[in-house]
Amino acid sequence: MILLAYILVALAVLVVIGLCTTHRQMNYSCISHAFLYTVLTVYVLLFRQVPVASFLIGSQYFFMDHFGLFEVLIASVIFTCAAVYAGGYVESLLKSGELEKGSLKVFYASWTMLLLVIVLAFFCDNLALFWICAELTTILSAMLVAILSARENIDAAIKYIFIASASMLFSFVGLIFLFETSRSVLGSGTLNWTELMQHAPAFPPGMLVAAFALVFIGFAAKSGIFPFHTWLPDAHAKAPSAVSALLSAVLLNVGIYGILRVYAIVHRTPAAVTIAPVLALFGFFTVAIAAFSMLPQKNLKKLIAFSSVENMGIILIGIAVSTPLAIFWVLFHIMAHSLTKASLFFSAGILHRQYRSRLSTEAVDEIRDVFRFQPLAAWGIIIGGLAITGIPLFPIFFSKLFILRELGMVSLPALFILLSLLFVAAAALGYFVITAFSEITAPGTPPDIEPYVTPLTMKIPLIFLIGLIIFLGIVFTQGEISFLNRIVQELMF
């Protein structure tokens, strides 16, 4: 019944959006949608027996376990913040004429459906169904990228769709392999994750390696792993900032979620010995490419996008290490990265409204006098930047530290390579912030830029997220630890 509640809320919101006439109404319905999901998820976590067994759930298609709920919780919190933020942001897009009033309904309808599909994806027990939901997230999010219908947005969206969907087809072939593997062992084939986990030790490793390799291609493309990351900086940089936050903080998680689920199956067989080093290698390449692409970067949103690629690489390395402790911190890193990255994109969005001329999204940022015009966004970037590089007392510090520690137990040279790459990435971020934020016009000259009055709706989610990050870095509750431990147990690492 709980799952039906999720679906019904989304449908109701869709109907309301259809009836709405003003932007404000549509925005409010989106906010309440995401907020209701947050409340629902917290309710399930606190008051229901997880994994939930009821009508529809516990069937062979859907289930709710701790991992799914964890991801849904992150997604709904980010969506709530982004929806509040979109209120002010989309308003200013409308004012500047970048978004047409006619596209508003399409925008908010895709937004609502995207949230629904993401939540369904995280509750899928059947891997093929998960594949379909993941595919739908690509389509819907590409629509959100293309909504500005400037040529470069459409280009970025098409690139995104082509790369992600073509790679996802490989994934599907991988799933067919998995199905056939289970059929050769069990008699009747299944793609049900719970069943696959049960019988995994009996599967022939050779088939599993092939299946995982193919599945990995698709989900790697979804989560921006090298060499399938090329769509990511474009799409993230050109989407409206509220959407960029979703892309980076929620959609990349869908890919990582898929990889982690399938890897959990592989981990129970000898095939893991072959696959883990390859995963680690992909992780290292991803971090390296991202770090060196960040160095010459002059565009703030692209810089942040590449930082997402870097973090996905770190997560992949953590998965490859695959000790229980590593997986625990991988999960923590997923959460910390989502929150931090959303806050960074929110700040970048405010700066984008302030400094970017109307039709040149490709151009170099001309950030000047940032502390005079946009002090909040500037501090947002600085704090977010410190958090994402992993300065102590921010949550990412702990996850990076422990993932590195676990990596060091496996191989010391790998640890040093990763550490130096992380240093390059941090330096790139620091260099950009210092050069961009220290540009000051000489006192006395009249300012030639109109200050952009940031609406309150754009400030509140930013402040909230930064507060949440700081809170998460300082306070470790027992509940949080046991919750993450349950996920590690369920994934059987």
Partner 1 sequence: MIDPAFIQGIIKVLLVCVIITAAYIISTRNLLSLVSMYSLQSITLVCLALALYTLESAPVLLGIAVVTFLSKALIIPYFIATIQEKIRIKRDIEFHFLSPTSSLVLSMALMLVVYMALTRILSETQVRENLFFFGAVIGISLMLMGMMVMLSRKRAITKVLGFLSMENGVLLFGMFVTELPFIIEFLIIIDLIILVLLTTILTVGIDSTLEDYHNRLHRFHLLQGPEERP
Q: What does the binding site for partner 1 look like in residue numbers (CB under 8 A)?
A: 21, 100-106, 126, 128-129, 132, 135-136, 139, 142-143, 146, 149-151, 154-155, 157-158, 161-162, 165-166, 169, 172-173, 176-177, 179-181, 183-184, 189, 191, 204, 206-207, 210
Instruction: Select 151 or 360, whichever has its Cβ closest to partner 1.
Output: 151
Q: Minimum Å distance from CB 21 to partner 1?
A: 7
Q: Minimum Å distance from CB 371 to partner 1?
A: 35
Under a CB-based contact definition with an 8 Å cutoff, are residues 157 and 146 in contact?
A: yes
Total residues found in the chain within this entry? 493
State how far the Cα of 100 lies from the Cα of 103, in Å rounded to an integer: 5
Q: Minimum Å distance from CB 165 to partner 1?
A: 6
Question: Bridge-partner residues for 52, per DSSP?
Answer: 64
Instruction: Select 105 or 486, whichever has its Cβ closest to partner 1.
Output: 105
Instruction: Select 213 or 325, whichever has its Cβ closest to partner 1.
Output: 213
Instruction: Select 48 or 199, whichever has its Cβ closest to partner 1.
Output: 199
Q: Minimum Å distance from CB 26 to partner 1?
A: 12
Q: Minimum Å distance from CB 181 to partner 1?
A: 7
Q: Minimum Å distance from CB 114 to partner 1?
A: 13
Q: Minimum Å distance from CB 305 to partner 1?
A: 21
Q: Minimum Å distance from CB 245 to partner 1?
A: 22
State how far the Cα of 39 lies from the Cα of 43, in Å rounded to an integer: 6
56: left (phi over 0), alpha (psi -120 to 50) or beta: left
**CB-side neighbour CA atoms (13 Å) of 475:** 9
Q: Minimum Å distance from CB 428 to partner 1?
A: 31
Under a CB-based contact definition with an 8 Å cutoff, are residues 239 and 296 in contact?
A: no
The tokens describing 338, both together, are 């989502």
Task: Give the count of beta carbons closer than 10 Å to the beta carbon of residue 4.
Answer: 12
> 60: closest CA among 227, 177, 194, 257?
194
Q: Is 106 exposed, middle or buried (0-12, 13-18, 19+ CB in 10 A)?
A: middle
Secondary structure letter of residue 249 according to DSSP: I
Q: Is the dihedral of CA 225, 283, 381, 76 positive or negative?
A: positive
State how far the Cα of 226 lies from the Cα of 187, in Å rounded to an integer: 37
Instruction: Select 155 or 195, whichever has its Cβ closest to partner 1.
Output: 155
Task: Give the count of beta carbons closer than 10 Å to the beta carbon of residue 430.
Answer: 14
Q: Minimum Å distance from CB 116 to partner 1?
A: 14
Instruction: Select 179 or 292, whichever has its Cβ closest to partner 1.
Output: 179
Distances (CA, A) of 220 to 164, 272, 476, 493: 9, 17, 31, 21
Instruction: Select 206 or 447, whichever has its Cβ closest to partner 1.
Output: 206
Instruction: Select 133 or 377, whichever has its Cβ closest to partner 1.
Output: 133
Residue 344 three-state SS: helix
Secondary structure letter of residue 442 according to DSSP: P
Instruction: Select 175 or 312, whichever has its Cβ closest to partner 1.
Output: 175
φ, ψ dihedrals at 378, nearest 5°? -60, -45
The tokens describing 218, both together, are 């698709």
Instruction: Select 128 or 382, whichever has its Cβ closest to partner 1.
Output: 128
The tokens describing 264, both together, are 């959990």
State how far the Cα of 75 lies from the Cα of 452, in Å rounded to an integer: 29
